[in-house]
Amino acid sequence: MSAVKLENRDGILVITLDRPKANAIDVATSLELYAAFRTLNDDPALRVGIVTGTGRFFSAGWDLGAANDGEAVDADHGPGGFAGLTEYFSLTKPVIAAVNGLAVGGGFELALAADLIVASETAKFWLPEAQLGMLPDSGGLLRLPKAIPERIAREMILTGRRMDADEAAALGLASRVVPGETLLDAALELATIIARAALLAITAARDILRDTAGMEVEAGYRHMRSGAIPSYQAMLQSEDALEGPRAFAEGRAPQWKGR
């Protein structure tokens, strides 16, 4: 039985991790998730992805039962890395993590790999790996200090302390906190707004943000203007870059061609 459910909501791919009791992720589940994100990437009719979970857990992270059965701590989780997304750097479309509950260890790292996090009021985030003799090396060590103040990230990594949804929002980790019953609607609302934009512009924006992360503004400008980001050049030279202003002036919705 598949642990990953897919639903196309008018060009928004809802990816639901449904692996009771805690939506823990083993190699097979990572590969299923990667296949879902690959579908998002490759299907031109899909514009945005939402990843969420069922029950109390968004995801409990690495399946320690699988570990006990012999799955190695450094097992190969496939082309997208752990959970199919944490090392899927060539994904061209945005993903929203709709965190429905507990995001633990690798589950938190899955959420960190998304472009945006929308959290339910009951969501909690933590990285217990150091207390289990491991490290959050599927993005926790690298992404969390870029997402929140570094000292707080260090505390979470070194002590395993938990962060609730309100603190996540206050620190900018989550862009919205909503009641659990409206979580998917809130994520779909954001995804729908993103899906209205030109995909070339969205792809270029994501690539520029990634490539210039950590750069000073002047260095970021130099890199962006250097021609080193193909998606940015494609956007500048596209028909869509002309269509947007034309449609605005004519008072109509733009008709994006993706070129």
Q: What are the residue numbers of the active site?
A: 109, 129
Nearest to 29 by CA among 76, 83, 73: 83
**Residue 20 and residue 25: Cα distance in Å, rounded?**
11
Helices (H), the chain: 27-42, 64-68, 106-113, 140-147, 150-159, 165-170, 183-196, 199-212, 217-225, 230-236, 240-250
- At which residue do the structure tokens 């570990």 appear? 67
Residue carrying structure tokens 């031109």: 44
**Inter-residue contact 71 to 24 (CB < 8 Å):** no
> Where does residue 63 fall: left (phi above 0), alpha (psi -120 to 50 degrees), or beta otherwise?
beta
